[in-house]
Amino acid sequence: MRLSLYLRNMGETSRPAPFAACVAAAEDSAVDTVWLADHIAIPPDDAEGSGGRYLDPLACAAYIAGATQRLRFGTGVLVLPYRPPLATAKWVATIQELSGERFRLGVGVGWMEAEFAAVGARLSQRARMTDEVLDLIQRAFADDTVELNGRSYLFLPRPTRPQVLVGGRAPYAVERAARYGDGWMPFGRAPAELAPEIADLRRRFTAAGKSNPEVVVITQLALGDDGLAREQVAELAELGATEIVHAWRYTGAEEFGDAAQALSRLAE
């Protein structure tokens, strides 16, 4: 079982000093991965908790790659319809190459209508647009030459394709994960809800001829109580979770560092 943290690339904790301190704390702990959110245009009346301040997750990933040696990092999740497919694939390949292949690509279809309007994308087409980007990523990382709009282009650098994890609710996200990904990223699901969904995920992976899927559960652990936290981890592991991401609204780097050390104790 891998234990990871959600790194707030939003709000006041995304200022340069606390953000850098949080990254350093994670690097110096047993935390496996730090995960980053994706919002690109927050309306003023929907800014509670962030103040509308969001750092771009791909730019954050590039920063973390240069600031660390061991720590893995990923998008949890990158909203694929917000960005051009080829440019997104190039960002992903570049970060993966320069980080020594420590990048993990969590993806989603998005949900905030105001953001889709801001980027000029249609909310009703988000599933199709997501599948198009995932298809391109699969093809681009499989061969040095990729066909786009009827012409062939070189796609270089071409490091190992990063792990692709599909976020969102079953059954749609589970189906998309089986088609394009290596696993699923459920968020805020109770164990009783997860059990049948993970079973369905495994069936779909088997039918697709794939090995057992990754199941990266984003939740909140009771880190103030090591015994209870261990029980939570054990319950999710029994259901088939391969990684748990502790996500909460911390107020500063010291609180984040305490959580990193608490996860380190659980990992022992």
Burial class (CB within 10 angstroms; exposed 0-12, middle 13-18, buried 19+) of 4: buried
What is the domain extent for residue 102? 2-267
CA 7 distance to own-chain centroid: 11
- Rounded (5°) CA angle 180-181-187: 125
139-160 pLDDT per residue, tens: 999 999 999 999 999 999 999 9
- Give the residue carrying structure tokens 């009771």: 222
* pLDDT for the residue numbered 32: 98
* pLDDT for the residue numbered 196: 96
Domain count, the chain: 1
- 3-class SS of residue 83: coil
Determine the average pLDDT of the residues in 22-51.
96
At 263, phi and psi to the nearest 5?
A: -65, -35
Q: Tell me, what CATH number does 148's domain have?
A: 3.20.20.30
Q: For the CA atoms of the chain, what is the radius of gyration? A: 18
Determine the average pLDDT of the residues in 205-227.
96
Burial class (CB within 10 angstroms; exposed 0-12, middle 13-18, buried 19+) of 132: middle
- Cα atoms in the Cβ-side hemisphere of radius 13 Å centred on 29: 26
* C-beta of residue 185 within 8 angstroms of C-beta of residue 166: yes
Determine the average pLDDT of the residues in 158-179.
97
β-bridge mates for residue 145, sequence order? 154
Determine the average pLDDT of the residues in 96-114.
98
User: Per-residue b/e over 79-113, b at no fewer than 16 CB within 10 Å?
Assistant: bbbbbebbebbebbbbbbbebeebbbbbbbbbebe
pTM over 0.85? The answer is yes
* pLDDT for the residue numbered 75: 98
Q: Is the pLDDT of residue 188 over 90?
A: no
- What 8-state DSSP symbol labels residue 168? S
* pLDDT for the residue numbered 268: 84
β-bridge mates for residue 104, sequence order? 74, 163
DSSP 28-69: TSS--EEEE---S---GGG-TTTTT-B--HHHHHHHHHHH-S
Q: Is the peptide bond before 157 cis (omega within 30 degrees of 0)?
A: yes
> H-type helices in the chain, by residue range?
16-27, 57-67, 85-98, 113-119, 126-140, 172-180, 191-207, 226-239, 253-267
pLDDT, mean over the chain: 97
Determine the average pLDDT of the residues in 33-42.
97
- What 8-state DSSP symbol labels residue 191? H
* pLDDT for the residue numbered 104: 98
- Cα atoms in the Cβ-side hemisphere of radius 13 Å centred on 168: 22
* pLDDT for the residue numbered 98: 98
Alpha carbons 33 and 51: distance in angstroms, whole number: 26
Q: Is the pLDDT of residue 200 over 90?
A: yes
Q: Is the pLDDT of residue 243 over 90?
A: yes
